Structure 1
Amino acid sequence: MLEAAFPGEEARYFLPMSIGVAPEHADEGATLILNGTKTLTSSPFWDYPDGKVPFVGALSVLLDGSKKPRGIVETARVEIMPFAAITTAMARAYGEGERTVEWWHRMMGPFYRASAARHGAVLTEDTPLIWEWFTVIRRL
């Protein structure tokens, strides 16, 4: 498990959070997060070219598809694990679709393969992802 030292109040604020690449995905993601269905997300390292990845205690503004702030989320746990590491409990916490490992691989595999290709990378079962568990601390 990767745990960053708590960086202090002034450094707690992190990048805004938005789910997916299309406005409708961000709207759906914001709803799932705000209603407590989605408590886990994942992202590849190429999404953070500056190397500043989510950390425990980070606060992010949750955006909908119109880039409107919908809430504040706090990162509760961060782990670096391969793409293939998803478990039944993680798929359920991911909160999207059928909430199964099979669904996650079927839907997120193509998503991450396309993202990797845009960044000149290749997705494999061993590609590390940043798995981020979070809680909603305020609705806006």
Structure 2
Amino acid sequence: MGVGPKADGTIPQDAITRLEDIGKWLNVNGKAIYNTRITKEYHDGDTWFTQSKDGKIKYALTCLKDKTPEYVVWNGNIPAKGSSVELVQTGQKLKWENKGTTVKVWLPKNIRKDLPALAFSFKGAL
């Protein structure tokens, strides 16, 4: 993580806070990272993709900029026709569409505005 101690051997408080935030995020989104594999197309802009070991479940992890947008967009790793796209942290099914190779997923209106990233799950990509 690149966190080194101060001269007195303690970890700086801002690093502790950041590591705690990462831990909280991983507690609710970890299944999109732990025990997964990359996909053939593993990256598009601010979105990275993983998949379950058997390849049946895909995950899209989208890094957010300054604020949470109304929707997120990525190219490639298209959810299978008729499948749902879920927000990993809540399991909530989200409205989505695909046009060509572009996937657009609308976020819930009540989502926290201070999240650094979101993780989505969906069944098999085309």
TM-score (norm 2): 0.28
Q: Report which of the two has the higher share of helix.
A: 1
Q: Report which of the two has the higher share of strand.
A: 2
